[in-house]
DNA sequence: ACACTTAATTGATCCACCTCATTTTGGTAC
DNA sequence: GTACCAAAATGAGGTGGATCAATTAAGTGT
């Protein structure tokens, strides 16, 4: 077991000038919700979007703020959270490039129902939600794509609820690590590095537990050579164990 | 505190002959996902639907069954559940007339990810999901309506997750009773009756707890004259208490 | 290389809730 | 009314995980 001296996370190399018009168009073309849209329509649609850069830790919007915009991650990772009490938060999801967040509603009195924070330096496109609704009205394909994305998220959210209701904490954490490594994992050394800053608090807020409990479980996994972990990073050394811990 | 001798629930008066073509068309016209559709389009769309009656307790489909159809509740209540272990279930939602369930996906290898059971005698319309997708493709309004419904469900599911992660059991049960009375409540005597058969197990499966714990909490609420409850029914005597139990 | 800040670890205690076991009751069928 | 059965209530005991408190270690800035 080698002692690491520094974080294995890639340095944040996202800078403002990368959010160029060219990149933006390329991004929208690849975005799952615009799949099947013709090139000229894409060009038209592109004009509705604004790009903006966010520094790590910067809040994009707070829950209960008036909600007017739909956003798209171009670069970086965006964390969606909700606050319960004083220091009790719930981490709903972590988004990667191509994913959407914000609101689709065009009602005036509508508010965001989660807080969005840049987990890393990020570039985000935004569009006024009523404009996006117009686009959906004129292109049923787009509406159906967004519907498919939302349905998938609903299924995933219910899955989370199921796991929270029925699994003990350690299994919940295994499952979270498994899902994160599928979404954000990159080969690193002899394992898979979850490529993002990830604290014990983040994991606790995903699993509905305390940082201390997460720490204890992670320590045990480390002792058993199933993961390697340090300050704000995790690598999976034994993916098979993490994937099927049912019998454990 | 009067001792009730019999269930205050309305007798199930839904019978097969009520699922007539006339009722079906009326139902589809009022259904939120067809809001804004012209009368003639509605007539065309109607031809795709089949009606079927289900007896109380009858399973409409099981989770992991091949998924081919989207369904609409015409009459009665439908319970959506997922199985975890032996006797551990999670009650995801209870649907009332006008709500949709089943699948929207037209992929061949797709399966239902929950079990649907008739909570009362029910009448249900169904349509092959690929047909429904065609309808959405030709009528963006429909796609957007379904998207709005799905988004609302996603928000609600995340809300449930939040409550499950952060609230103690008693508060979770208060909240569930509050939501149920909003959705299914009907004035009855000096309170609001939740008009549906509802067991301690159902409540436990919603709150992620055990039947015994639900029973204990309900007993206390009854003692404090906040609710009245018997075998498979609940009335709320003090809605205000149930609605804001934050400070309790 | 140093000090400083914040994350992470680890230990000890406590209690909300689960589980198992038993009794009671409501609702139904005869 | 009486008998029956499944749902609900209640009791006793055990425990997973929270909470509180103190220590260690990893990055960061100078």
Please state which of the ranges B35-44, B225-234, B236-245 shows the lowest mean pLDDT: B236-245
CA of A126 to C1' of D15 (A): 49
- Residue B247 is predicted with a pLDDT of 54
| Cα Rg of chain A (Å, integer) | 19
| Minimal Cβ distance to B162: which of A82, A136, A148 | A82
The average pLDDT across B17-40 equals: 83
Q: Which residue, among A138, A149, A137, has the nearest Cα to A100 in the 3D structure?
A: A149
Q: Which residue, among A79, A78, A72, A66, has the nearest Cα to A26 in the 3D structure?
A: A72
| Minimal Cβ distance to A164: which of B144, B148, B165 | B165
Residue A44: count of CB within 10 angstroms of its CB: 12
Query: How far does the CA of residue B174 sit from the closest CA of chain A (Å)?
Result: 17
- Nearest nucleotide over every DNA/RNA strand to the B197 CA, judged by C1': D7
Q: What are phi and psi of A116, to 5 degrees?
A: -110, 125
Say if CB A106 and CB A66 are below 8 A apart: no
Q: How many helices (H) and strands (E) does chain B have?
A: 8, 12
Structure tokens at A6: 């520094």
- Residue A6 is predicted with a pLDDT of 64
SS3 A233: strand
Cα distance between residue B153 and residue B150, in whole Å: 5
Mark yes or no for CB contact A137/B137 under 8 Å: no
Structure tokens at A112: 């965001």
Query: A186-230 pLDDT, tens per residue?
Result: 999 889 999 999 999 999 999 999 999 999 999 999 999 999 999
- Nearest nucleotide over every DNA/RNA strand to the B6 CA, judged by C1': C27
Cα distance between residue B16 and residue B37, in whole Å: 28
- Nearest nucleotide over every DNA/RNA strand to the A219 CA, judged by C1': C9
Say if CB A235 and CB A229 are below 8 A apart: yes
- Residue A16 is predicted with a pLDDT of 56
Query: How far does the CA of residue B7 sit from the closest CA of chain A (Å)?
Result: 30
- Residue A3 is predicted with a pLDDT of 46
B96 touches strand D (CB under 7 A): no
Predicted confidence pLDDT, tens digits, chain A (248 residues): 344 456 777 765 555 556 677 778 888 999 999 998 998 999 999 999 999 999 999 999 999 999 999 999 999 999 999 998 877 999 999 999 999 999 998 877 899 999 999 999 999 999 999 999 999 999 999 999 999 999 999 999 999 999 999 999 999 999 999 999 999 999 998 899 999 999 999 999 999 999 999 999 999 999 999 999 999 999 999 988 888 765 54
| Minimal Cβ distance to A113: which of B133, B155, B208 | B155
- Reported as a pLDDT band with limits 50, 70 and 90, residue B143 is very high
* CB contact A64 to B (< 8 Å): no
Whole-model pTM: value is 0.94
* CB contact B134 to A (< 8 Å): no
Say if CB A78 and CB A60 are below 8 A apart: yes
B11: exposed, middle or buried (Cβ count in 10 Å: 0-12, 13-18, 19+): exposed
Cα distance between residue B161 and residue B113, in whole Å: 18
Residues contacting B138, CB < 8 A, separation 6+: A140
Q: Which residue, among B99, B143, B103, has the nearest Cα to A155 in the 3D structure?
A: B103
Given the structure tokens 């469900």, which residue do they identify? B153
Mark yes or no for CB contact A154/B150 under 8 Å: yes
* CB contact A223 to B (< 8 Å): no
Looking at chain B, the whole-number percentage of residues with pLDDT higher than 90 is 77
- Residue B69 is predicted with a pLDDT of 96
B56 touches strand D (CB under 7 A): no
Please state which of the ranges A74-78, B27-31, B156-160, B181-185 shows the lowest mean pLDDT: B27-31
Q: Which residue, among A208, A151, A201, has the nearest Cα to A175 in the 3D structure?
A: A208
Say if CB B65 and CB B40 are below 8 A apart: no
Residue environment code for B175-204, b if the CB has 16+ CB neighbours within 10 A, otherwise e: bbbbbbbeebbeebeebbbbbbbbebebbb
SS3 A176: helix
A199 touches strand C (CB under 7 A): yes
Query: B52-62 pLDDT, tens per residue?
Result: 999 999 999 99
The average pLDDT across B224-231 equals: 94
Residue A232: count of CB within 10 angstroms of its CB: 13
Structure tokens at B77: 């209540």
Does the pLDDT value for residue B6 go beyond 70?
no
Does the pLDDT value for residue B72 go beyond 80?
yes
Q: How far is CA B214 from the centre of its chain?
A: 20
Q: Which residues of B touch A133 (CB under 8 A)?
A: 144
Residue A168: count of CB within 10 angstroms of its CB: 8
A229 touches strand C (CB under 7 A): yes
Q: Which residue, among A181, A185, A72, has the nearest Cα to A123 in the 3D structure?
A: A72
- Residue B197 is predicted with a pLDDT of 95
- Residue A1 is predicted with a pLDDT of 38
């Amino acid at each position: 077991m080698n002692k690491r001296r520094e974080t294995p996370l890639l340095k944040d190399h996202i800078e403002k000038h990368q959010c160029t018009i060219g990149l933006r168009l390329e991004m929208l073309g690849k975005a799952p919700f615009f799949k099947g849209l013709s090139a000229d329509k894409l060009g038209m649609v592109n004009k509705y979007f604004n790009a903006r850069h966010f520094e790590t830790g910067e809040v994009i919007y707070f829950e209960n703020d008036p909600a007017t915009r739909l956003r798209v991650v171009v670069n970086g990772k965006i964390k969606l959270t909700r606050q319960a009490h004083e220091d009790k938060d719930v981490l709903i999801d972590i988004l990667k490039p191509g994913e959407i967040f914000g609101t689709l509603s065009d009602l005036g009195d509508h508010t965001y129902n989660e807080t969005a924070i840049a987990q890393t330096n990020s570039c985000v496109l935004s569009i006024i939600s009523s404009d996006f609704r117009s686009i959906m009205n004129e292109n049923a394909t787009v509406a159906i794509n967004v519907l498919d994305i939302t349905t998938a998220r609903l299924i995933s959210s219910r899955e989370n609820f199921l796991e929270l209701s029925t699994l003990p904490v350690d299994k919940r954490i295994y499952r979270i690590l498994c899902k994160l490594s599928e979404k954000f994992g990159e080969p690193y050394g002899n394992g898979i590095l979850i490529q993002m800053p990830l604290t014990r608090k983040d994991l606790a807020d995903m699993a509905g537990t305390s940082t201390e409990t997460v720490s204890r479980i992670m320590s045990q996994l480390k002792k058993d050579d199933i993961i390697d972990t340090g300050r704000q990073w995790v690598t999976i050394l034994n993916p098979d164990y993490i994937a099927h811990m049912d019998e454990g």
